[in-house]
Structures are given as C-alpha cells and as structure tokens.
C-alpha cells in the first residue's frame, strides 16, 4: 500500500510540475491544486510505517494505547493543510478571473507589464 | 508559564474583527488599528527587556505538556522581530492616514494590516514547525489581500505571480515538515533539535533541510527564486509596499535563522558554503537589476533582494559572530528600507508619478524630504556613523576572520553599487531641474503625516548608528540563544529533555 501511494504522490507531483510550467493561467492553477493534493497524500504516508514510540493518548490505567491506534497527528496536519489549500484555491481562482478580465487573456506571457522597463 | 505571550496575537486578531464590524466608520477603524499596533509596540518593548534580563519566555497552548501541544517561545530574536514588526505597523498605519484612498480603506485595508500583524507575530513566537507553516499562511493570505487591494491591472498581474510563487514555496515548506515528521516523529522545534542529533540517517536529514532552504529562500527572495518580488512590490499602495519591503522577506530570513540555527545546526555547517554562494549571487543580481530600473519603487524593490543577501551571508558564516552580524544587519535593514520606501513614496505621491524622468526638483520644493532621503540612502549604502555601517562592518569582520575573501569582496563591491543607485534616485528625483512638463508649484505640499513616519525611522537609524553597542549586545544575546539548543530543550521540555516527557506519558 505504501508503495502504491508513493507512486501516486510521484505522479501528482509530476503532473503538477508539468501543468505549472504551461503558459495558461488555468493550467497553472490546476498545477497548484495537484501539488497540494500530492502534499496531503505525502503527509498521510508519513503517519505510517515508521516506529516512533506510542501515541500520546494512552489508557491511563495501563499507560498503553490500543494496538490498532493510529497516529492522530498526520491527520490533524492534513486537515489543516486541506483547509488552507482550499481557501487559497478559492482566492487564486477569483484573482485569476479578475486578472483575466483586466488583461483579456489566459496567457501568462501577456501579463508582463510589471516586468517591462 | 508566560501566558502573556498570547497577548500580541489576540489583540491584533480581535482588533481586526472589531475593525471589520465597524467598517462603516473610517475614523473609528483608524483609531482601533493604531491602538492595536501601539499595544503590540509597547508589549514587545517590555518583552525585549524581560527576555534580556531573565531569558526565554515560554508557554504551552492549552497546557499540553511540551512536545505534544504547541509551544510559544520568545527568545531574543523573537523579541527583536516582534518589536520591529509593531514599529513598522505603527509607522505604516500613520502614513496610511495621509496616503490611502477612502475607497481602499472601505475594502478592509486596516483589518488586513492587523491580520498581517497577527500572522507575523505568530510566526515570530511559535516554537513548533507546523505551526510556523500555519502562521506563514495567515500572513500570506493577509498580504495577498493587501497586494491586490485596489484591483488595478498591474496589481492583478503582479499579484498573480506573487500568489502562485509564494504558494509554491509554502507547499515545499509543508513537504519538508511532513518528511521531517516521518523521520523524527515530532514537530516541536526543541524536540526536533534533541532528536535529530541522535538519528541514524544524517544524509536524509540533510536532504530534508534542503527543502526548508528552498522554501524559505523563496519567501526571503534569494537567487534564484526572487522573481516574484520585483514584479509585484511596486504595484500596491505606497504604505503597503513599504510594509512588505521591511517585513515580508524578513519573515523568510527569520525562518532560515530559526530553523537552521536551532533545528538543523549540523546541516547548517554542511550547507554553509552553498548559502554563502547564494548570498553573493543574491547581492550581485539584486544590485544589477536595480541599476536597469527607472522607477523609484522598482529600484528599491531590487535593492531588497540585494540586501537580503547580506543577512544570509551572516547565516552562511556559520557561528555566533556571523549570526550576530546578520541579526544586526536585519534590524538596520528593516528600519532603513521602510524609511526609504516611505520617503521615496512620499516624493512619488507628491509628484503623482514614480518614473524618474518625469520627476525632479524635489530638493528645492521639499527640503526636509530631501534631507531625510539623503540620510536614509547613505545609511543603506553603509556610511558611518549611520546604522548601515555597523551592520556591514560586523559581517565583513566575520568574513575576514573566517578568510572568506570572495564574499567579503562581493559585499564591499555591492555596497558601492548600492550607493550608485541611491545617488541615481537622489539626482533624478531631488536634485535635477524639473522636466518641462512638470509644474512644481502646482504640486501638493508635504504634510506632517507624510514626513513624520519616515523621519522617525531615519532618526532611529541615526540613534542605532551612534549607540550601536547595546543593539550589538542584544543581537549577540539573540544569536547565542538561537544556537543554544540544549538551553532551548531545557526551557521548553524541562531538565530531562523532551524524550523523557514522551516516554513518561506513553508509559514505556
């Protein structure tokens, strides 16, 4: 399972890199979205398969956690990361829409007035 | 437990909410924003004193024992950065009264400023790596709002690049944090510092540290990932440019200092020479880029890139002396760079344009403004007795001691080019005869609200120049605390270290 998920992370990162290098703003945004998905999956993978002691929330009587207890931290991290990337995706879509209205183009090469001398 | 560490977070947050609620009353909003910034300024001044006299201030959120919850840690560097942040915010808010249009004010300009203060304060106070990521996002989203506020075409174009490249940097930070958690099983900086020293696989840690180097470099505007900065910083309202110039890239520099000084000290030694190469290239590329520009704020934006190189040079000269000089330079840079943006911005505001060839004659029209500009730009170039001299002196001395001749030579040469650029603006904006189409007598006069913020910062730069010893001492204290991993572990987790806490709780 870890192997398959690692492959998926790699494919997502590869697709993100490809899309982010395109000139179209829409593809650029899709690339950013794919990148954040890949990162979330990577965080998920980090919660498994590594020995790091026992979970923080253990049975107070015995001091031992249930045998199948999962590490809660990566889940909390992913949840936070999803919320943040969702908010940013919404913002960047609105920004791209306004930029498209102002420039009348979807091509990043048309958006270079602030780079020109 | 120093629960007062939550105050500089809660006050800006609730002020931002309150200011949003009463957004129909512009005067009330201004008062709220100014009061919150002044509160943070007063608080962080007190924090400077108490950290200087009693050492680190630490509190645990929700009273979870240290490596499990989120720790807030204020050491010397945090206190310095908090003070400068609050100072900049106060000055910017006052300057905004005179320059920001009512239209922008109505669209939550001041609440966004306060949210940025909230995010920056959090980033400087947190002792947890993932929490640092969250604070970065908080201040980023506020900065996204500020940089595009107004919706002019240049702002949208520059803002899009700014947003995408910063998101990419943040994602790399997140990837690094995730990988580090997979390897070390913790995200508390003190716990990480303790565990990373004993891990089996140091090469893996070095690779992960590379992620952090890339992520924070893209925030700090280092070569080769600085392109978002000169394309976007000159587009928003003048006070926003000034605030960003002083604050945003420096949060990236702070994160580099913090993460490489405390969490990855061994990796810092490995990456030291690479960081020096990056620092040298950043200085050169920034200053060369500035020479080609013909607008006030564009020139100044490229100089930000160039000067971040000096701070990173302090990090690359591994050790207390290098970090001390880097921190001192950062203090000087934050004050002077913002002053230059405020003063140059005032000239731009009065002339109605930032293009050098359409400006001129300001020295006769506004002599006070011109004098302030001259002082600030000489300080930036590093002439004694202004603050820039001591910042550069420390860096060059350390470089000479470590016999890093190349970077010393580059930093001296770049200073000369900096002076050249500053004199170019001086000649074009203040000294030369106004161009034929510019009627100087028709321009508005500078008001106290335009002059006072820049003047305050220039005076501070002179004060730091004449009284450099206490600032240097405090920088040294901050650098020592930054590199003192054992002291951090003891202060955050208790005398036995963080692993002792985790084994006790999990009953092993």
Whether A40 maps to a domain, the answer reads yes
Q: What mean pLDDT is predicted for residues B176-190?
A: 90
Long-range contacts of B150-154 (CB under 8 A, 24+ apart): B150/B103, B150/B104, B150/B236, B150/B237, B151/A98, B151/A102, B152/B235, B153/A102, B153/A103, B153/A113, B154/A113, B154/A114, B154/B235
pLDDT at residue number B331: 93
- The verdict on a CB contact (< 8 Å) between A81 and B174 is yes
Q: What mean pLDDT is predicted for residues B326-330?
A: 94
Q: Which of B130, B174, B508 is facing A54, going by the closest CB pair?
A: B508
Which 125-154 residues of chain B touch chain A by CB within 8 A?
Answer: 130, 134, 137, 141, 144, 148, 151, 153-154
Determine the residue of chain A that is closest to B135 in CA distance.
A84
Whether A55 maps to a domain, the answer reads no
Q: Which domain holds residue A96?
A: 2-50+70-110
Q: Does B11 have pLDDT greater than 90?
A: yes
- Return the top range by mean pLDDT from B170-174, B355-359, B384-388: B170-174
Determine the residue of chain A that is closest to B232 in CA distance.
A114
Percent of chain B exceeding pLDDT 70 equals 99
Whether A95 maps to a domain, the answer reads yes
Please give the radius of gyration of chain A, using alpha carbons only, rounded to the nearest integer: 20
- The verdict on a CB contact (< 8 Å) between B181 and A114 is no
Max Cα separation, chain A?
A: 71
Q: What mean pLDDT is predicted for residues B252-280?
A: 92
pLDDT at residue number A106: 86
pLDDT at residue number B508: 42
Q: Does B393 have pLDDT greater than 50?
A: yes
pLDDT at residue number A73: 83
Average pLDDT in chain B = 90
Q: What mean pLDDT is predicted for residues B501-505?
A: 72
pLDDT at residue number B182: 86
pLDDT at residue number B177: 94
Determine the residue of chain B that is closest to A77 in CA distance.
B130
Whether A65 maps to a domain, the answer reads no
Which residues, in sequence order, are CB contacts of A104 under 8 Å at separation 6+?
none
Range in A14-28, A44-58, B68-82, B466-480 the model is least confident about: A44-58
pLDDT at residue number A58: 62
pLDDT at residue number B82: 95
Whether A59 maps to a domain, the answer reads no
Which residue has better confidence, A40 or B507? A40
Whether A102 maps to a domain, the answer reads yes
- The verdict on a CB contact (< 8 Å) between A32 and B168 is yes
Looking up residue A105, the CATH number of its domain turns out to be 1.10.287
Domain count, chain A: 1
State how far the Cα of B146 lies from the Cα of B159, in Å rounded to an integer: 10
pLDDT at residue number A50: 43
Q: Which of A36, A62, A87, A95 to mutate to test the interface with B (most CBs of B within 10 A)?
A: A95
Which residue has better confidence, A54 or B390? B390
Whether A58 maps to a domain, the answer reads no
What pTM did the predictor assign? 0.93
Task: Tell which residue, B192, B320, B313, has the closest CA to residue B262.
Answer: B192
Whether A27 maps to a domain, the answer reads yes
Which residue has better confidence, B409 or B201? B409
Q: Are B330 and B322 in contact (CB under 8 A)?
A: no
- The verdict on a CB contact (< 8 Å) between B163 and A35 is no
Task: Tell which residue, B357, B361, B349, B355, has the closest CA to residue B432.
Answer: B361
Q: In which residue ranges of chain A is pLDDT below 50?
A: 49-53
């Amino acid at each position: 399972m870890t192997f398959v998920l690692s492959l998926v992370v790699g494919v997502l990162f590869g697709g993100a890199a490809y899309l982010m290098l395109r000139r179209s703003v829409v593809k650029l945004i899709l690339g950013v979205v794919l990148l954040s998905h890949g990162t979330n999956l990577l965080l998920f993978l980090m919660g498994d398969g590594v020995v790091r002691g026992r979970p923080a929330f253990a049975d107070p009587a015995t001091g031992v956690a249930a045998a199948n207890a999962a590490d809660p931290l990566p889940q909390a991290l992913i949840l936070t990361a999803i919320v943040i990337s969702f908010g940013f995706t919404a913002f960047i879509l609105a920004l791209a829409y306004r930029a498209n209205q102002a420039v009348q183009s979807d091509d990043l090469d048309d958006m270079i007035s602030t780079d020109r001398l | 437990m120093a629960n007062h560490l939550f105050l500089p977070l809660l006050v800006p947050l609730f002020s931002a909410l309150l200011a949003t609620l009463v957004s129909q009353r512009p005067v009330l909003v201004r008062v709220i924003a100014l009061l919150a910034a002044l509160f943070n300024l007063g608080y962080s001044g007190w924090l400077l004193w108490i950290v200087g006299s009693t050492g680190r201030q630490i509190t645990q959120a929700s009273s979870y024992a240290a490596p499990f919850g989120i720790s807030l840690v204020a050491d010397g560097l945090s206190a310095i950065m908090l003070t400068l942040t609050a100072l900049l915010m106060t000055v910017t808010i006052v300057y905004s009264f005179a320059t920001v249009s009512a239209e922008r004010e109505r669209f939550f300009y001041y609440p966004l400023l306060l949210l940025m203060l909230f995010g920056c304060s959090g980033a400087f106070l947190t002792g947890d790596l993932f929490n640092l990521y969250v604070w970065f996002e908080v201040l980023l989203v506020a900065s996204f709002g500020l940089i595009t506020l107004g919706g002019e075409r240049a702002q949208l174009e520059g803002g899009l690049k700014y947003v995408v490249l910063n998101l990419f940097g943040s994602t790399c930070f997140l990837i690094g944090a995730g990988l580090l958690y997979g390897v070390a099983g913790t995200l508390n900086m003190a716990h990480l510092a303790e565990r990373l020293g004993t891990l089996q696989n140091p090469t893996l840690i070095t690779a992960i540290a590379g992620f952090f180097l890339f992520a924070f470099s893209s925030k700090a505007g280092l070569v080769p990932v600085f392109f978002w900065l000169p394309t976007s910083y000159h587009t928003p309202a003048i006070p926003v440019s000034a605030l960003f110039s002083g604050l945003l890239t420096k949060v990236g520099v702070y994160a580099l200092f913090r993460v490489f000084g405390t969490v990855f000290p061994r990796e810092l030694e490995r990456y030291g020479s690479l960081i020096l190469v990056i620092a040298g290239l950043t200085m050169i590329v920034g200053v060369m880029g500035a020479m080609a520009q013909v607008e006030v704020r564009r020139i100044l934006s490229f100089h930000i890139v160039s000067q971040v190189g000096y701070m990173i040079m302090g990090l690359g000269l591994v050790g207390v002396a290098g970090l001390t000089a880097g921190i001192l330079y950062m203090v000087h840079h934050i004050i002077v760079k913002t002053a230059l943006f405020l003063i140059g911005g005032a000239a731009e505001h009065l002339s109605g344009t930032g293009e050098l060839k359409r400006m001129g004659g300001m020295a006769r029209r506004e002599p006070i403004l011109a004098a302030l500009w001259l002082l600030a730009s000489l300080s930036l170039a590093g002439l004694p007795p202004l603050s820039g001299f001591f910042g550069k002196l420390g860096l060059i001395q350390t470089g000479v001691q470590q016999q890093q001749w190349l970077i010393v030579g580059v930093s001296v040469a770049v200073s000369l080019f900096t002076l050249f650029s500053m004199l170019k603006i001086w000649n074009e904006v203040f000294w030369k005869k106004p161009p034929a189409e510019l009627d100087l007598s028709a321009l508005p006069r500078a008001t106290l609200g335009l002059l006072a913020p820049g003047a305050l910062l220039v005076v501070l730069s002179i004060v730091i120049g004449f009284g450099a010893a206490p600032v240097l001492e405090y920088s040294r204290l901050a650098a020592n605390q930054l590199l003192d991993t054992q002291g951090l572990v003891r202060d955050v987790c208790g005398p036995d270290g963080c692993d002792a806490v985790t084994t006790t709780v999990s009953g092993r």
